[in-house]
């Protein structure tokens, strides 16, 4: 029996295609609810995931189109370089600001599904790096929905499910092979009228509006955050520290959003880029000094030429120091040690650490 008050939202990153294929292959043709999928991909990606999923199983998969009506038994995939947002009965495809350095990002989809479907939202976090999706899954859980994580020991890249398990009271932790049967069972009955835990609805509303391309200030960003000492790596505006959830999260006035983990990753990239820029500037300066020194020699101004050659040698020494720093510098750690230690196959059971229910 179909129950229209459910939706399944799935987030994946590195290693996600094979897991999504496994799920699609095991879902029945009469699967009763829509499924929305975000897979991190490059903006120039050809967007062939729907074709892969359609071939893998009986359900039709398509790239979501703005205004698509949600239909049961259909898989909707976020197109390249677009967020996918759930509205009542429909989908919205947007060019909203990146979250956690991605567009499409998982959090906007999960957050909007929680807002619209409440206890009927079922969020699934699969394999992937860093922690996109954790904040969205937390919102799903806060508004009464069901939170599921792939077993990290079963994930090719365990970071995303590990972060979800660490910060969200997930309901199920299962390997990829068990996800489709679990979804079939969960969608076979109406959503339970669970009482959501305390939550600030304003946070959800504001962040969904931002993902749907509304000006963040007009959407109410300044009411849900306070200025931090950090700058946005993307646009260099001031980041506001958001007040909700168990994670450190930030947004700028432009709308770019980061968890603490994704912000550290972006800062690491900025540092490396800045160091390479310094090397380029020093080496270009060295070449220009040598070039001018040659002209001075030709005009018989030997003293000035010698001075410029000495300064060129100094510029080369400085660039060599920075180049050595680049090759030896350890980036800031972006994964907590306890998450790294739980990533191995010896840690398949985590009953003491999480609220776990076996399917």
Average pLDDT score over the chain: 90
Say which residue, 3 or 27, is predicted with more confidence.
27
Tell which residue, 103, 156, 111, has the closest CA to residue 129. Answer: 156
pLDDT of residue 193: 54
* C-beta separation of 123 from 110 below 8 A: yes
Say which residue, 338 or 120, is predicted with more confidence.
120
Give the CA distances from residue 141 to residues 131, 168, 187, 231, in Å, rounded to whole numbers and listed in that order.
16, 8, 16, 30
CA angle centred on 137, ends 263 and 32, rounded to 5°? 140
Q: Looking at 162-166, 230-234, 295-299, 330-334, which range is the least confident one?
A: 330-334
Q: How far is Cα 356 from Cα 359, in angstroms, rounded to an integer?
A: 10
Q: Domains of the chain (ranges plus CATH)?
A: 7-186 (3.40.50.180)
What pLDDT digit, counting tens, does each position of 72-102 carry? 999 999 999 999 999 999 999 999 999 999 9
- Rounded to two decimals, the pTM is 0.87
Does residue 201 carry a pLDDT above 80?
no
40 counts as catalytic: yes
β-sheet bridge partners, residue 86: 91
What value does the mean pLDDT take over residues 38-50?
Answer: 95
Residue of 6, 40, 163, 256 marked catalytic? 40
What pLDDT digit, counting tens, does each position of 225-274 carry? 999 999 999 999 999 999 888 889 999 999 999 999 999 999 999 999 99
pLDDT of residue 359: 37
Measured in whole angstroms, how far is the alpha carbon of residue 323 from the centre of its chain? 31
Does residue 318 carry a pLDDT above 90?
yes
Q: Name 351's Cβ contacts closer than 8 Å, sequence gap at least 6.
A: none
Give the count of beta carbons closer than 10 Å to the beta carbon of residue 353: 12
Report percent pLDDT > 70 for the chain. Answer: 89
Q: How far is Cα 83 from Cα 106, in angstroms, rounded to an integer?
A: 8
Q: Name 26's Cβ contacts closer than 8 Å, sequence gap at least 6.
A: 57, 177, 179, 180, 181
**Looking at 214-321, which runs of residues are DSSP E strands?**
225-231, 238-242, 249-252, 257-259
Does residue 131 carry a pLDDT above 70?
yes
* C-beta separation of 64 from 112 below 8 A: no
Radius of gyration of the chain (CA): 25
Residue tagged 């191995």 (tokens) = 344
Q: Name 341's Cβ contacts closer than 8 Å, sequence gap at least 6.
A: 347
68 counts as catalytic: no
Q: How far is Cα 171 from Cα 243, in angstroms, rounded to an integer?
A: 24
Q: Which tokens hold the place of 67?
A: 């205004």
Does residue 129 carry a pLDDT above 60?
yes
Residue of 132, 151, 171, 178 marked catalytic? 132
What value does the mean pLDDT take over residues 299-309?
Answer: 92
Say which residue, 194 or 188, is predicted with more confidence.
188
Does residue 192 carry a pLDDT above 70?
no
Q: How far is Cα 154 from Cα 150, in angstroms, rounded to an integer?
A: 7
What value does the mean pLDDT take over residues 121-125?
Answer: 97
What value does the mean pLDDT take over residues 145-170?
Answer: 97
Does residue 31 carry a pLDDT above 90?
yes
Tell which residue, 84, 87, 114, has the closest CA to residue 99. Answer: 84
What pLDDT digit, counting tens, does each position of 329-355 carry? 998 888 766 565 555 443 333 333 333
13 counts as catalytic: yes
Cis peptide before 104 (omega within 30 of 0): yes
pLDDT of residue 244: 84
């Amino acid at each position: 029996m179909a129950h229209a008050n459910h939706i399944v939202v799935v987030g994946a990153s590195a290693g996600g295609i094979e897991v999504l294929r496994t799920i699609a292959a095991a879902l029945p043709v009469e699967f009763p609810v829509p499924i929305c999928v975000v897979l991190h991909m490059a903006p120039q990606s050809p967007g062939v995931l729907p074709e892969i999923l359609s071939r893998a199983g009986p359900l039709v998969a398509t790239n979501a189109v703005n205004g698509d009506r949600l239909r049961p038994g259909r898989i909707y995939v976020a197109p390249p370089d677009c967020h996918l947002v759930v509205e009542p009965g429909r989908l919205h495809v947007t060019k909203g600001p990146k979250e956690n350095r991605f567009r499409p990002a998982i959090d906007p989809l999960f957050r909007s599904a929680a807002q619209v479907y409440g206890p009927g939202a079922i969020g699934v976090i699969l394999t992937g790096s860093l922690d996109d999706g954790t904040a969205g899954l937390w919102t799903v859980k806060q508004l009464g929905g069901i939170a599921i994580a792939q077993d990290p020991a079963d994930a090719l890249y365990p970071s995303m499910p590990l972060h979800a398990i660490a910060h969200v009271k997930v309901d199920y932790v299962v390997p990829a092979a068990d996800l489709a049967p679990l979804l079939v069972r969960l969608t076979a009955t109406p959503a339970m009228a669970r009482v959501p835990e305390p939550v600030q609805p304003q946070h959800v509303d504001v962040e969904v509006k931002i993902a749907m391309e509304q000006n963040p200030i007009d959407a109410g960003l300044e009411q849900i955050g306070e200025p931090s000492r950090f700058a946005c790596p993307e646009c260099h505006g001031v980041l506001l520290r958001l007040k909700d959830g168990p994670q450190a999260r930030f947004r700028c006035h432009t709308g770019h959003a980061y968890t603490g983990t994704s912000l550290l990753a972006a800062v690491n990239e900025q540092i490396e880029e800045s160091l390479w820029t310094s090397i380029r500037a020093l080496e270009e300066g060295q070449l220009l000094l040598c070039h001018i020194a040659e002209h001075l020699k030709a005009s018989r101004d030997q003293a000035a030429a010698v001075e410029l050659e000495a300064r060129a040698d100094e510029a080369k020494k400085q660039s060599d120091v920075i180049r050595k720093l680049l090759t030896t510098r350890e980036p800031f750690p972006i994964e907590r040690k306890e998450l790294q230690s739980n990533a191995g196959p010896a840690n398949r059971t985590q009953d003491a650490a999480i609220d776990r229910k076996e399917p």
